[in-house]
Amino acid sequence: MIFLYEHSPSIPAKALMSMGVLAGTLTATALTTGYSDWFVNVLNFEKVEGNIYRQIIMFICCFIYFIRFTIGLFVFMQRKICWFEGGLVTVLFFMMFYFFGISAGSHPDSIGTIDIFGISLFLFGSCINTLADYQRFSWKRNKKNKGKLYTSGLFKYSMHINYFGDAIAYFGLALITYNIVCLCISTGMVIYFIAFEIPMLDEHLNKKYKHEFIEYYRTTKKFVPFIY
């Protein structure tokens, strides 16, 4: 993301990003639960009868992500989002959730152990991300904490525990798809977090909190609790 360290509701940009997740989910669901003749004939799609239960599970998981992503944008995130960032994230999230939905929805096998594990990972990662953001949001609402760096709650185990939660959730979704490309997409998201998103955020925190951040950086794992 492109960090703009200004506080702004940025409602239109946030709404666009949120709709990217929902649009990708709904489009994939529509195509896998009932291909239209136009898509089959004109776009030369191969009509595959996927497992209805996997289609339902993927839709529910993606809709849960849409709900918590929307709450995160409009409640927890206070910074300004420019139109370029909003548009870029919208396109990327549409493509990701569309591809996840198509891959899972067209897979014919019945629900098995891998699916159960994938669902568990998704729910676990979602809980970590949402709880961490909520804890930090609640702490920041206290006027006594203004100008201080938040290092408590789940953030005492990892400087970017919320990103770690999202990474787990993405891998959970990828397992449900049974598609190696989806696993590559999830891996790509983790690489993006570690190589781009986290360094930019660390630079901002270092400038804003200085000595507090240096101590936090020295004593806390960056991404994976107890490991990295």
Q: Has residue 1 got a pLDDT over 80?
A: no
**Rounded Cα gap, residues 2 and 36, in angstroms:** 38
CB 175 within 8 A of CB 115: yes
Rounded distance between C-alpha atoms, residue 165 and residue 159, angstroms: 12
CA geometry: angle at 72 spanning 68 and 74, to 5°? 115
Location of structure tokens 């630079």: 203
Contacting residues for 32 by C-beta, under 8 A, at least 6 apart: 50, 55, 101, 102, 104, 105, 106
pLDDT the model gives residue 87: 86
Tens-place pLDDT, residues 113-146: 999 999 999 999 999 999 999 999 999 999 999 8
Q: Which two tokens stand for residue 64?
A: 């849960």
Closest CA to 166 of 140, 138, 129, 124: 129
- Model confidence at 9, pLDDT cuts 50, 70, 90, reads confident
Residues 89 and 69: their CA atoms lie apart, in Å, by 12
Q: Give the DSSP letter of residue 82.
A: -
| Pairwise CA distance, residues 159 & 155, whole Å | 5
pLDDT at 106: 87
What are the tens digits of pLDDT across the range 18-75?
999 999 988 888 777 754 444 444 444 455 568 889 999 999 999 999 999 999 989 8
Contact of 217 with 150, CB cutoff 8 Å: no
In this structure, are strands 79-80 and 4-7 parallel, antiparallel, or unpaired? antiparallel
- The helix/strand/coil state of 182 is helix
Q: Among residues 93, 75, 89, which one has the least CA distance to residue 22?
A: 93
pTM value is: 0.88
- Inform me whether the pLDDT recorded for 16 exceeds 50: yes
Reply yes or no on whether the pLDDT at 217 is more than 50: yes
Tokens 């206290």 -> residue: 142
Please count the residues of the chain.
228
CA angle 225, 118, 198 (to 5 degrees): 35
Which whole number is the average pLDDT over 170-197?
Answer: 94
Cα–Cα distance between 9 and 28 in angstroms, integer? 30
Instruction: Tell me whether residue 70 is exposed, middle or buried, using C-beta atoms within 10 angstroms of its C-beta: 0 to 12, 13 to 18, 19 or more.
Output: middle
- The rounded radius of gyration (Å) of the Cα atoms in the chain is 19
Checking if the pLDDT of 173 tops 80, the result is: yes
Say what the pLDDT of residue 83 is.
80
Cα(90)–Cα(88) distance, rounded to whole angstroms?
5
Q: In this predicted model, which residue has the larger pLDDT, 47 or 209?
A: 209
